[in-house]
Amino acid sequence: MSRRLMGSRAGREGAKLAHSLITIKAMKDGRKEPMSTSVTPPPSKQKVRLPALASALAYGLAMVIAFGVLGTLSGGNARTVSYTEFKQMVRSDEVQSVVVTASHIRGTLKKAGQAIAVIRVEDPALMGELDQHSVQVTGELATNWWSPLLAWLLPLALLFFFWSRASAGLGAGQGALAFGRSRAKIYADDDVKVTFADVAGIDEATEELREIVDFLRHPKKYTDLGARIPKGVLLVGPPGTGKTLLARAVAGEAHVPFFSLSGSEFVEMFVGVGAARVRDLFAQAEERAPCIIFIDELDALGKSRVASPLGTHEEREQTLNQLLAEMDGFDPRKGIIVMSATNRPEVLDAALLRAGRFDRRVVVDRPDVQGREAILRLHARTVKLAADVDLKVVALRTTGFAGADLANLVNEATLLAARRSRGEVTIVDFEEAIDRVLAGLKRKRVMSASERERVAAHEAGHALVASVLPGVDPVHKISIVQRGYEALGHTLQVPSEDRYLRTCEELHHQLAVWLGGRAAEELMFQEVSTGAQNDLQHATEVARAMVAEYGMSDVIGPVTVMTRPRTPFMPVPGWEGSGTAAEETSREVDLEVKKLMTEADETAASVLRAHRTTLEAVIKLLLEREVVEGDEVRRLLAIEMRPALLVTSVPPHVDAA
């Protein structure tokens, strides 16, 4: 059943491909009449009947073999009797004649000529008894004609059967030899409905690509001036920022055929298949020029080649060599644009990035606050929003979100509203959706009263230190609701604006915020717990970067003694970098990191001791409500929406109280 479904699917894909080719050819011939979207099936005499023929041959062969075996075993219409019964018949003079073979004995009875069949047993005395009772004995050389037939025809039948199945699965007109054909999905000029109107938040990248669209629409304007459009455009950026969507929008705006495939589709275990698919892809593109070839996840195909004195014959490298040759070989005046997307440009081969191949790089970065608002409005066009929903406020609270994250956020909020049987999506649904995306789903685990109070003190410590010290992101929400994999609570800080730089003082204060939860536990319970493990990890990473990368240590000086991997869009979590510093320098780095962490811990403890009354009030609110807004913490501190500089600097070892 699964094979039949696959075959029918391949037929439908073949029909879509046929319609695309008809549409393209109509445009090339200059016909203006619209092409019908239906595809007339081929005449019945042209239909492929290989699977039916193979099935008929297999069934026929099986029937012939079965009849031969049954005829040999049963001996026609003879009645089968046991060997003991047969010998009794011989002794009773009931048997007239027998035919002896290597495995059977067929006999004829004197009474009405009835036939019997017996499985032969090694019995040396049988021939003497047959001669004694005057039974006519005839020998027969058994010929199992079906055995050699089975040995010769069955492998051929099976080979033909699976060959025909493979041919049918690949689609009509392709056959098993199409293994090296390109697997790109081909969209005709009218099939791509995405335009720049469906793209938001990446205006700089969109403007860069409008020139490509104009060239595909009006190539003569550029070729008359002797201009050469870039052969390749590389879209780089973090995951989920809309690189694939942007490539489809270029094809939709230019109204040209669009070839879409992934870099991993070129890589196969068979030698030469990837290179053959590259050649076939560019051959098809030249037939349909002008067009766009889009290769997603280019890093799966274009990784840097290994430098080896013995050389290498890795299949992926041979495929990459073929891609380099094809990009050099086609004429840019034909209007073939190769667009690729990757979030790991640092691993791509240098020959792939040189001028003449991927001439232009377009960075598709995470959107700023205005871009996030535009993306939210784009995805909320079909959503019924309540009057209290301000998408600008939602954009401010989603710093660092990519386009895919924002689309998921709108969908999560809509699902929450539907689950609660609301007619509109409210701001409460968006707040819950943000918590889901950032911290995970709620967990309904029973926590003891003592642990619950400790978690409340921990989160209140974070919030209070962040509300007092200047230069850190303001607190938006404090929660002791368990979410995600390990989070027993969380304090959400939302920047009031997009930040790209941090000063040394701001980083010092951020370290104190991370250690505020641990300091609050120590202040309220005179001991710490394992709940600060994640805070210590983040704080230590930032402190080490301050000393070894940012040059913010007077002891180490303005030098970099640690380097991180060049992964601007795909950072390696938990990787602390490596360096070539001397052993003594590394020891000084460790001492400076410890000094920063100790100072931050003392700063947090000083702030909490100075505002212990407010700390206890926030803990009480958390135990009552489980969720406290940042405004309430600031109200308890008698400050306005934006925290005033109550404490400009708390020196280490000094109690602010």
User: pLDDT over 90 for what percent of the chain?
Assistant: 23
What is the pLDDT averaged over residues 96-105?
84
Query: Residue 284 above 90 pLDDT?
Result: no
Helix (H, G, I), strand (E, B) or coil at 336: strand
* Residues near 599 by beta carbon (within 8 Å), at least 6 away in sequence: 508, 652
> Which DSSP category does 259 fall into?
E
Q: Which residue has the tokens 């983040």?
A: 538
pLDDT interval class at 134 (50, 70, 90): confident
| pLDDT value for 271 | 66
For residues 35 and 17, the answer to whether their CB atoms sit within 8 Å is no
pLDDT (tens digit per residue) in 420-440: 998 999 999 999 999 888 888
| pLDDT value for 201 | 86
* Residues near 58 by beta carbon (within 8 Å), at least 6 away in sequence: 157, 158, 161
Instruction: Kindly write down the DSSP assignment for every residue of 54-98, as one continuous string.
Output: HHHHHHHHHHHHHHHHHHHHH-TTPEE--HHHHHHHHHTT-EEEE
Q: Which residue has the higher pLDDT, 387 or 286?
A: 387
Query: The pTM is what?
Result: 0.66
pLDDT interval class at 188 (50, 70, 90): low
What is the pLDDT averaged over residues 132-153?
73
> H or E segment at 377?
helix 369-379
505 is catalytic: no
> Which DSSP category does 507 fall into?
H
Alpha-carbon torsion angle 110, 116, 117, 120, nearest 10: -30
d(CA 559, CA 549): 7
d(CA 189, CA 252): 7
d(CA 152, CA 432): 70
| pLDDT value for 643 | 43
| pLDDT value for 56 | 63
Task: Using alpha carbons, select from 268, 339, 322 the residue that is nearest to residue 300.
Answer: 268
For residues 295 and 261, the answer to whether their CB atoms sit within 8 Å is yes
> H or E segment at 291?
strand 291-296
Q: What angle do CA 516, 482, 540 make, to 5 degrees?
A: 35
In SS3 terms, 460-486 reads as HHHHHHHHHCCCCCCEEEEECCCECCC
What is the pLDDT averaged over residues 34-60?
46
Report for 46-60, 180-194, 278-292, 455-469: range of highest mean pLDDT:
455-469
d(CA 23, CA 627): 59
Beta-bridge partner residues of 105: 100, 118
| pLDDT value for 461 | 94
Q: Which residue has the tokens 């301000």?
A: 390
What is the pLDDT averaged over residues 588-604?
94
Query: Residue 639 above 60 pLDDT?
Result: no
> H or E segment at 340?
strand 336-342
Query: Residue 25 above 80 pLDDT?
Result: no
pLDDT (tens digit per residue) in 313-353: 577 788 888 888 888 866 666 778 888 999 888 888 888 88
Helix 612-625 to helix 449-468 angle (10° resolution) is 130
pLDDT interval class at 600 (50, 70, 90): very high
Task: Using alpha carbons, select from 244, 341, 247 the residue that is nearest to residue 302.
Answer: 341
What is the pLDDT averaged over residues 105-111?
85
Q: Which residue has the higher pLDDT, 354 or 504?
A: 504
In SS3 terms, 226-240 reads as CCCCCCEEEEECCCC
pLDDT interval class at 307 (50, 70, 90): low
> Which of 208, 459, 521, 599 does the annotation list as catalytic?
459
| pLDDT value for 482 | 87
Query: Residue 597 above 90 pLDDT?
Result: yes
Q: Which residue has the tokens 């789903």?
A: 441
Structure token pair of residue 144: 């199992």
pLDDT (tens digit per residue) in 230-264: 788 899 988 888 888 888 888 888 888 888 888 77
d(CA 600, CA 199): 44
Query: Residue 568 above 80 pLDDT?
Result: no
What b/e sequence results for 90-102 when a residue is b if at least 16 CB atoms lie within 10 Å of its CB, and e otherwise? beeebbeebbbee
Q: What angle do CA 55, 58, 64 make, to 5 degrees?
A: 140
Least confident stretch, 49-63, 292-306, 557-571: 49-63
| pLDDT value for 579 | 60
Q: Is the dihedral of CA 351, 352, 355, 356 positive or negative?
A: positive
Structural domains in the chain, sorted by start? 80-139 (3.30.720.210), 180-223+231-352 (3.40.50.300), 369-439 (1.10.8.60), 449-636 (1.20.58.760)
> H or E segment at 360?
strand 358-363
Helix (H, G, I), strand (E, B) or coil at 118: strand
d(CA 238, CA 571): 10
| pLDDT value for 39 | 34
Query: Residue 400 above 90 pLDDT?
Result: no
Query: Residue 266 above 70 pLDDT?
Result: yes
Task: Using alpha carbons, select from 48, 62, 270 the residue that is nearest to residue 164.
Answer: 48
Query: Residue 219 above 70 pLDDT?
Result: yes
Q: Which residue has the higher pLDDT, 469 or 76?
A: 469
Structure token pair of residue 385: 């929003």
What is the pLDDT averaged over residues 161-184?
55
Q: Which residue has the tokens 């644009």?
A: 337
For residues 291 and 256, the answer to whether their CB atoms sit within 8 Å is yes
Report for 15-19, 71-75, 240-244: range of highest mean pLDDT:
240-244
pLDDT (tens digit per residue) in 223-233: 788 877 778 88
Query: Residue 42 above 90 pLDDT?
Result: no
Task: Using alpha carbons, select from 278, 215, 287, 201 the residue that is nearest to residue 245.
Answer: 201
Q: For residue 557, is it left (φ>0), alpha (ψ between -120 and 50) or beta?
A: left
For residues 135 and 96, the answer to whether their CB atoms sit within 8 Å is yes
| pLDDT value for 535 | 92
* Residues near 378 by beta carbon (within 8 Å), at least 6 away in sequence: 198, 200
pLDDT interval class at 66 (50, 70, 90): low
What b/e sequence results for 455-479 when a residue is b if at least 16 CB atoms lie within 10 Å of its CB, and e otherwise? bbbbbbbbbbbbbbbeebbbbbbbb
Query: Residue 44 above 60 pLDDT?
Result: no
| pLDDT value for 430 | 93
pLDDT (tens digit per residue) in 482-526: 887 778 888 988 887 888 889 999 999 999 999 999 999 999 999
In SS3 terms, 180-223 reads as HCCCCEEECCCCCCCCHHHCCCCHHHHHHHHHHHHHHHCHHHHH
pLDDT (tens digit per residue) in 525-564: 999 999 899 999 999 999 999 999 888 988 888 888 877 6
Position 632: which residue type? Answer: E
Q: How far is CA 126 from CA 81, 86, 90, 450, in A?
A: 16, 11, 9, 96
User: pLDDT over 70 for what percent of the chain?
Assistant: 74
Please state the φ and ψ torsions of residue 558, each to the nearest 5 degrees: -80, 65
| pLDDT value for 405 | 92
Q: State the chain's mean pLDDT as an integer.
A: 78
